[in-house]
Amino acid sequence: MRTSGEGCTFHTYISGHFNNPYPRAAMSEKAQIILNGKTYEFPVVTGSEGEKAIDIGKLRDETGYITLDFGYKNTGATTSAITFLDGEEGILHYRGYPIEQLAEKASFIEVAYLLLFGELPNKKQLEEFEGNIRYHSLVHEDMKRFFEHFPSNAHPMGILSAMVNSLSTFYPKSQDPHRPQALVLRTIYRLIAKMPTLAAISYKNNLGHPYMYPVNKLGYVENFLHMMFALPTEEYEVDPVVADALNKLLILHADHEQNCSTSTVRIVGSSQANLYSAVSAGIAALWGPLHGGANQEVIEMLETIRNDGGDIQKWVDKAKDKNDPFRLFGFGHRVYKNFDPRAKIMQKTCHEVLGELGITDEPLLDLAMALERIALEDDYFVSRKLYPNVDFYSGIILKAMGIPTSMFTVIFAVARTVGWVSQWKEMVEDPSQRIGRPRQIYTGPSQRDYVDVARRG
């Protein structure tokens, strides 16, 4: 494959105009593919941060070929103005803002507004947005009956996915893909508002504790903690250290480009399924241990090491042994080939939380800190850039907060909801969007003739 700059055009993005197929992208060169002696040209698209892609949208029509990319490691399915990620350099930006600045200075609700609408809110916009979220935080009383019929040991992620999907039956107008923009926004506000409520009820349901209603005078993060940990018989005061740590954790998990669950939300939403159903599918994708379930796997791994006697080096050696199936969870990342920028923030927050909460003698957390030291110093990990990732530190923080491992991925889902709805909103507002329908290369038997059962022996 070679490129040429001849006969090129340049396209720019004008806010509010959607007839340009490459928003915020330039086409300044062509890619040539030679097949059977014939040359085909395809546009090269350059994003606002310099990343490049070859638009092969007409590849099959013109050549009869498709591309094959297992796991979509080299395939871009869309253009997006929401999140920029550079795995080689360890960069993560939301709408152009470095994640480090947002995690340090912003509230989660500010970041939610930013992801949805593209700009940070002014004071009036933020108050109005927070008011809309508070207004929709209650869930219908009939939903309690659903919760009552889940098994007492049901995983909260299974409950959450089912309950989010059920919201479409309580709000049937959400199923109309052509409803006015004001109703679309109302659906978005409802979902962001009700996620902490549904998550907290899922948690209480497993404990057999009474559900706590939202308290509108509290902020989004504080209200979530109240619904999780308060009891009707006791006064509950939100620990500001815990609230600040959770605020950071939610911001860091709010969006992460076209990951497994976000791609799921987009592809389900591309069929014009309602937002609740699309996000329910995203929750199911997030549940997997290779995606959002990784922080739960971290704690379960540490418990295994502790129960085996706590010999960290033994398990590090097992991880290094290519013939041993054991793997360390919480190290390395599919996209980041450098230190995950979110992990750097969580590392600092993790040590602050442990210090502020006075946790100095917790065997599981002691093991985690010992494993962190080895991973940051051992040449095996350093040379392979297997740094502790955000799942490693978030699992430790949530454990220190007293949140059970089964709820780890649920909290991830609460955070990622704002990313999912932002990605969904961007997709449905794009008139060039088509239903997602990947191709395949068939490897089964070639055509065969049916033989009557009596003749098959």
CA–CA distance, 160 with 146 (Å, rounded to integer): 11
Q: Which helix (H) or strand (E) holds 26?
A: strand 26-35
CB 362 within 8 A of CB 317: no
CA–CA distance, 183 with 187 (Å, rounded to integer): 6
CB 349 within 8 A of CB 294: no
Q: b or e along 120-150 (b: 16 or more beta carbons within 10 Å of the residue's beta carbon)?
A: bbeeeeeeebbebbbebbebeeebeebbeeb
Q: What are phi and psi of 97, to 5 degrees?
A: -90, 130
Q: One-letter amino acid identity for 99? A: I
Q: b or e along 212-226 (b: 16 or more beta carbons within 10 Å of the residue's beta carbon)?
A: bebeeebbbbbbbbb
Residues with catalytic function: 333, 391
CA–CA distance, 21 with 24 (Å, rounded to integer): 10
CB 269 within 8 A of CB 279: no
